[in-house]
A and B are shown apart, each in its own frame.
Chain A
Amino acid sequence: MIRRYFFPVTIGFILLCTGCFVFGTSKDYHPFDPDDLESIQPGITTATDISGLFGAPTSTVELSNGNAYIYHRSVAKATLIWLVLVSFANYDTQVDQIVFFFDKNDLLTHYGASLNADKAGYGLPF
C-alpha cells in the first residue's frame, strides 16, 4: 500500500516545491562617518558646519523656534519565494537617520541619531 502511493506522492510533492528563491537588496545609502558625529557640539556647531560635514540634508523643517535638518539613508532587503501554488514575499526596510535641531541663529541645540540600516535582513514573512 505504502509502495503504491510513495512514488506518485513523492513526485507530487517535488512538483509542488518546484520554484525559486530570490534575494534582493535596494540601497539609498552610504554610511555616516562616526568621526563626523563625534566632532559635533551643541551650542558651538552651526548649520553651515553640518552642511559641510554631511552635505545637503534630505529634507528641512521650519520649527517654532528654529529649523531641523534631516539626513536619511535606507536599506531594503527582499526575500521572494515562488512555488507552484504559493508565493511568499518579505521586504524589510531600515534606515539610518540623523536629525539636527538649530535655533533661529542657526546654532545647533541638539541632535538625534538612529543607525538601524544594518538591521535590515532577509527572512520568511511569517
Chain B
Amino acid sequence: MSFSGCLSYQYERRVEGVEIKDPADAYSLGKTTIGNVLCSLGAPDEVHSLDNTDLLVYQRSLFQENGLSLGIPVFDMATGWSVKISAAGAVTRYDTLIFWFNSQGTLQDIVFEKASGRSYLKTLFSKQND
C-alpha cells in the first residue's frame, strides 16, 4: 500500500454517438434529397442553417486521456513538503459527416472525416497546423 499515492496511471475514454461509416458514393450531388438521407441514416445529431443552405450533421466523438502522477508523500511527514509530478494528455477526435442542402432540399455538397482512426499519440503531439 506504500505505493499508493506515489505512482499512479489513469486512463479515461468517452464515446458519444454511434459509428459513422464512409458514405462513399451512396449519395449524388443534385439528386439526393433530405428525405433520402433521413431514410438511410436516421436523425442527424445537429441541424444548421447557413444563408440559403441547410446542414445535416452526423457526428461521433471519441475522447481519450492518459495521465501519470508521481508523488513522494513520505516527505510530508518528515519535512512538511513533498514532491508531486503529474502529466496528462487528452485528445478528442470527431468522426463527422455533413450534408449541405439547398432551399429545395437537394444535396449540394457532402463532407466526411473519420478522425477517430488517427493515432492518439500522433494527434496529441502533432503541431496545430498539421
Chain A residues in the interface with B (C-beta under 8 A): 15, 18, 61-65, 68, 70, 84-95, 97-99, 101, 109-116, 119, 125
Contacts and interface: CB of A to CB of B under 8 A. Distances in A.
B1 A68 contact: no
B31 interface: no
Contact of B4 (A85, A99, A101, A113): A85
B16 interface: yes
Interface of B: 1, 3-4, 7-18, 34-35, 37-39, 41-45, 47-49, 51-54, 102-105
Contacts of A116: 17-18
B13 A90 contact: yes
A70 to B, nearest CB: 7
A89 B13 contact: yes
Contact of A125 (B1, B11, B39): B11
12 contacts: A65-B54, A65-B105, A84-B1, A84-B4, A86-B11, A87-B9, A90-B14, A99-B38, A110-B34, A114-B18, A115-B42, A116-B18
Given A65-B103, A85-B4, A85-B8, A113 B43 contact: yes
A12 to B, nearest CB: 10
A88 B11 CA distance: 5
B15 A91 contact: yes
Contacts of A110: 34-35, 38
Interface centre among B9, B17, B51 (most CB of A within 10 A): B17
B8 to A, nearest CB: 6
Contacts of B14: 90-93
B89 to A, nearest CB: 15
A113 B41 CA distance: 9
Contact of B44 (A18, A64, A99, A115): A99
